């Protein structure tokens, strides 16, 4: 029976909290949920200046995967991918988790060798991964042109069977609802404009409706971390770039896997509804404006049509973009900020969505215990000074 | 694209002809310590608003151009 009970009631913020989380996206909501549910923190507020999930949380391409390269980060991504499985039951909310498998195409011998190297790292970390030859690819994706007639012929692929998709809006509402039911105050329309710092300890945030005191402040602002940096008078190792995404009209089901070409910067999947989501690369310059451009759209469509010629009748019906805060080493910044009581979960570039559950879990653990969990030690801000940058490859 | 970059050699051109070279920063002196160099290399002001930045015209004259651009509106102005 349909319920008339409201899923979520937004709150007006009070004057004092144990933990204030800046940013009502997936990472902020997940952190609030894990803090309230598993660490017994009573008074938590999530402050969001627009609406929950308005930034990268609602603008990504819904891909979840753990096929990264750097061995120190693989346990983190593996954990995150495994956590999605149980989240629908835990949050009592259907997140539409569909682990359909990701096929990443290789177009050169060098790329194949690099993929084999990656696969070895991933297998060692316990992640399921296979290499495919062209016959196997053709069997799995009959509509893909694997012949030698394409601009850069497909030579093989890496198959990541546990990768797939999760509906991002469902995830936002699932975490928001569950956090609110654990007693978290979710406040929208509250913009943080500054931080109150006494000595080397943060004591609260300044907002558009006045000061809010907090013992601890957690920053999870997605693509806007440099604005936070300016409020604190520091710099973060990021450049903000937009990622553009498109969807096509609805088609009969023909594509059961997520197919990507890291070399040509395209990836595509067919949603349960039937439309294709086409994604690409970051715009190659810094921008704080979520526009979409003809250049990006035409390049993406042309490269995808090269390998899916049957899609020539399709139409791009909608496009959007989201801001990505990218570091030089393709890894985020998590944990201590150098100011007591202020923790970071920023610089997630274009790979933040899949990490949501683990980010929430480990950020909450760090905030509650003040000890940096083993799995996020590699993501510290200090790594840029200690010559310990994460050895990640772009994928 | 919503903006064009004024190249002194080639005139007003599409930004996709250029390679973005990042924001203009002042390089540390020869006697600066390692932390200063790390900060110079990896950390950015990353303005939401006007910033001075480098663009390399790799599909044109091959020159580096200094541009003052608003990263929100993409308006380009003289200093």
Q: What is the pLDDT of residues A160-204, one digit of tens each?
A: 999 999 999 999 999 999 999 999 999 999 999 999 999 999 999
**DSSP string across A41-82:** ---EEEEESS-TT-SGGGTS--EE------TTTHHHHHHHHH
Nearest to B2 among A235, A291, A384 (CB): A291
Whether the Cβ atoms of residue A343 and residue A366 lie closer than 8 Å to each other: yes
Tokens at residue A249, please? 């009209």
Q: Domains for chain B: give ranges and CATH numbers.
A: 5-77 (3.30.2270.10)
- The whole-number pLDDT of residue A371 equals 95
Residue A328 with chain B: CB contacts under 8 Å = 41-42
Residue A281: predicted pLDDT: 85
List CB contacts (< 8 A) between A238 and chain B.
Answer: 44, 46
According to the model, what pLDDT value does residue A1 have? 56
A287·B74 Cβ contact <8 A: yes
Q: How confident is the model at residue B1 (pLDDT cuts 50, 70, 90)?
A: low
Does residue A238 contact residue A226 with C-beta atoms inside 8 Å? yes
Chain A residue closest to B54 (CA)?
A: A285
Residues forming a β-bridge with A269:
A277
Looking at CA atoms only, how far is residue B26 from chain A in angstroms? 15
Q: Which helix (H) or strand (E) holds B40?
A: helix B34-42
Residue in the block written with tokens 């016959």: A135
User: For residues A26-47, b (16+ Cβ closer than 10 Å) or e, as one string?
Assistant: bbbbbbbbbbbbeeebebbbbb
* In contact, A307 and A278? CB cutoff 8 Å: no
With a cut of 0.85, is the ipTM above it?
yes
Per-residue pLDDT of A12-36, as tens digits, reads: 999 999 999 999 999 999 999 999 9
Residues of chain A with pLDDT under 70: 1-3, 394-395
Residue of A234, A236, A286, A299 to mutate, interface with B, max B Cβ within 10 Å: A286
Q: A16-77+168-237+328-384 belongs to which CATH class? A: alpha beta
How far is residue A130's CA from residue A243's CA, in Å, rounded to a whole number?
28
What DSSP designation does A334 have?
A: E
Taking an 8 Å Cβ-Cβ cutoff, which residues of chain A contact chain B? Answer: 224, 226-227, 229, 235-240, 284-289, 291, 293-295, 327-328, 384-385
Q: Which of A356, A342, A335 is nearest to A19 (CA)?
A: A342
Class in CATH terms, A102-161+239-326: alpha beta
- Which chain B residues are closer than 8 Å to A229 by Cβ? 46
Domain segments of chain A: what residues?
Answer: 16-77+168-237+328-384, 102-161+239-326
User: What sign for the dihedral angle of Cα A217, A218, A224, A226?
Assistant: positive
Instruction: Quote the minimal CA–CA distance from A147 to chain B in Å.
Output: 31
């Amino acid at each position: 029976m349909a319920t008339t009970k409201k899923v979520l009631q937004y709150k007006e913020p009070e004057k004092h909290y144990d933990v204030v989380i800046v940013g009502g996206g997936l990472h902020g909501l997940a952190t609030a949920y894990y803090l309230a549910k598993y660490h017994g923190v009573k008074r938590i507020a999530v402050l969001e200046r627009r609406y929950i999930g308005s930034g990268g949380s609602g603008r990504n391409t819904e891909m979840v995967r753990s096929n990264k390269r750097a061995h120190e980060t693989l346990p983190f991504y593996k954990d995150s991918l495994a956590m999605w499985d149980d989240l629908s039951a835990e949050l009592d909310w259907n997140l539409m988790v569909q682990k359909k498998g990701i096929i990443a195409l290789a177009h050169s011998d060098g790329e194949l060798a690099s993929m084999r190297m990656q696969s070895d790292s991933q297998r060692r970390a316990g992640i399921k991964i296979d290499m495919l030859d062209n016959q196997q690819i053709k069997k799995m994706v009959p509509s893909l042109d694997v012949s030698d007639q394409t601009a850069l012929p497909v030579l093989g692929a890496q198959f990541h069977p546990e990768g797939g998709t999760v509906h991002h809006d469902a995830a936002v509402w699932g975490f928001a609802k569950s956090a609110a039911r654990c007693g978290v105050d979710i406040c929208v329309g509250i913009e943080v404009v500054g931080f109150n710092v006494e000595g080397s300890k943060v004591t609260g945030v300044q907002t558009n409706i006045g000061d809010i005191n907090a013992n601890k402040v957690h920053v999870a602002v997605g693509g806007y971390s440099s604005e936070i940096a300016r409020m604190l008078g520091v710099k973060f190792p990021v450049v903000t770039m937009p990622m553009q995404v498109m969807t096509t009209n609805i088609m009969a089901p023909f594509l059961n896997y997520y197919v990507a070409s890291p070399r040509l910067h395209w990836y595509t999947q067919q949603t349960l509804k039937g439309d294709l989501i086409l994604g690409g690369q970051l715009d190659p310059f810094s921008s704080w404006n979520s526009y979409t451009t003809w250049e990006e759209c035409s390049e993406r469509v042309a490269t995808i049509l090269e390998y899916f010629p049957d899609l020539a009748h399709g139409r791009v019906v909608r496009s959007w973009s989201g801001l990505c805060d990218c570091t030089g080493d393709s890894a985020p910044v998590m944990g201590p900020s150098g100011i007591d009581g202020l923790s970071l979960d920023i610089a997630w570039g274009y790979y933040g969505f899949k990490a949501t559950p683990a980010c929430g879990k480990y950020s909450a653990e760090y905030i509650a215990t003040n000890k940096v969990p083993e799995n996020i030690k590699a993501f510290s801000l200090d790594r840029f000074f200690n010559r310990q940058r994460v050895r990640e490859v772009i994928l | 694209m919503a903006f064009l970059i004024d190249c002194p050699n080639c005139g007003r051109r599409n930004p996709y002809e250029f390679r973005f070279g990042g924001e203009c920063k002042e390089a540390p002196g020869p006697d600066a310590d390692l932390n200063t160099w790390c900060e110079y290399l990896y950390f950015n002001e990353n303005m939401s608003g006007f910033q001075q930045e480098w663009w390399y015209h790799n599909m044109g004259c091959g020159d580096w151009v200094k541009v003052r651009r608003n990263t929100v509106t993409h308006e380009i102005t003289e200093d």
